[in-house]
Structure 1
Amino acid sequence: MFELGLLLVTNGINDKLDSLRFSKEITVALQRFTNADWGEMDPEDIEANNEALRTGERLFAAYKTSEGKIWIITEADRSATTILFPDEY
């Protein structure tokens, strides 16, 4: 649906990836993201992401995991996608 660019994870995410459960949750979240399933977002934010697919703006999604909420953000130029905890933004 769209290019992810370079896939990045923050230190906080990286520190938790040795948990098999969390690693699987990250994989599922990224699959959902690439399929334009924006996770736990308000309807206005979902519409903004759907519009961003058409206009080339930044994409942003939120998903619940066993380690807490994560965000996935793809830059407007599609050069990079970052997975992070909200407090790392």
Structure 2
Amino acid sequence: MLKESKFELGALLITPGARKAISYHEIFQAISRHAAGDWGDVSEEGAKLNDQALKESGRLFSVYESSNGIRFYIITEANRNTTTVLLPDEY
């Protein structure tokens, strides 16, 4: 279930590594959290930067961990045209 979105996600992209390593269910749960402004495991400073980026149309960056311990990122570009799910080594 998607939470209320605070911004447009644009086109959703999932890299091959993320698609292989993380279940779609967990990916879409994380996308829902990201869209609602829950930035996951970013630092306190990173969360503040994201909150500022919401107001100023900047790039949004979240970090999550799957149930099998794989960390992954979700990035929404400043223009809100795309949101990408990727592994750290695909960054």
After TM superposition, the score normalised by the length of structure 2 is: 0.88
Q: Structure 1 residue 67: deviation in Å?
A: 5.2
- Could you list the structure 1 runs, at least 4 aligned residues long, displaced by more than 3 angstroms after superposition: none
User: What residue in structure 1 maps to residue 36 of structure 2?
Assistant: 35
Partner of 1:45: 46
Q: Superposition pairs for residues 8-87 of structure 1, below 5 Å?
A: 8-16=13-21, 22-65=23-66, 66=68, 68-87=70-89
Partner SS, residue 31 of structure 2: helix
TM-aligned CA deviation for residue 14 of structure 1? 2.1
Which structure has more helix as a fraction of its residues? Answer: 1
State the shift of 1:29 in Å.
0.6
Counterparts of 2:69 and 2:88, CA distance in 1: 12
Residues 31, 38 of structure 1: alpha-carbon distance in 2 compared, 3 angstrom cutoff: same
* Cα deviation digits, residues 1-55 of structure 1 (max 9, x gap): 10111100101122246xxxx2221111111001100000110000000000000
Q: Percent identity?
A: 42
CA distance in 2, matches of 1:72, 1:53: 15
Taking structure 1 as the reference length, what is the TM-score of the superposition? 0.90
Point out where structure 1 has 5 or more consecutive residues left out of the alignment. none
